């Protein structure tokens, strides 16, 4: 039977990303699907710049992000929390950020 995971369709407006730090057997990666709008958030932009430094732009397949799964989940939580806060309040504010991204 053909393994279907690689052929999974991503909804329009969403982006598949591959998160995890390099290790010896190349494992430790997890696939996530995030809204493309996240890429415009300052936190994700800094991570994308780091991804360019580490991997370059020529990687095939899902976008690879050079951070641990835990860091990614924390980052996603902060972006979602900020999005929820700004949609419920008229004033715009930024949450303090103290994330350090690991590179290989």
Residue-wise pLDDT for 48-68, tens only, equals 999 999 888 766 778 889 899
Say if 6 falls within a structural domain: no
C-alpha 92/C-alpha 82 separation (Å) is 9
- Which pLDDT score is estimated for 23? 63
Question: Alpha helices, DSSP H only, in 1-104?
Answer: 42-55, 69-88
29 pLDDT more than 50: yes
71 pLDDT more than 90: yes
Going by C-alpha positions, the residue among 37, 56, 45 that lies closest to residue 101 is: 45
Say if 93 falls within a structural domain: no
Enclosing domain of residue 64: 12-21+28-86
Stated pTM of the model: 0.68
Could you give the number of structural domains in the chain?
Answer: 1
Q: Given 3-state DSSP classes, what are the helix, strand and coil percentages for the chain, each rounded to the nearest 5?
A: 40, 15, 45
Say if 50 falls within a structural domain: yes
- Which pLDDT score is estimated for 45? 93
Say if 95 falls within a structural domain: no
């Amino acid at each position: 039977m053909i393994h279907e995971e690689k052929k999974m369709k991503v909804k329009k407006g969403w982006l598949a990303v591959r998160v995890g730090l390099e290790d010896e057997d190349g494992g430790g990666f997890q696939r996530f699907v995030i809204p493309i709008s996240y890429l415009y958030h300052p936190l994700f932009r800094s991570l994308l710049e780091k991804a360019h430094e580490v991997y370059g732009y020529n990687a095939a397949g899902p976008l690879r992000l050079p951070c641990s799964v835990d860091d990614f989940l924390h980052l996603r939580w902060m972006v979602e929390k900020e999005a929820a806060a700004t949609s419920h309040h008229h004033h715009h504010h930024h949450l303090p950020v103290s994330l350090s991204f690991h590179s290989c």
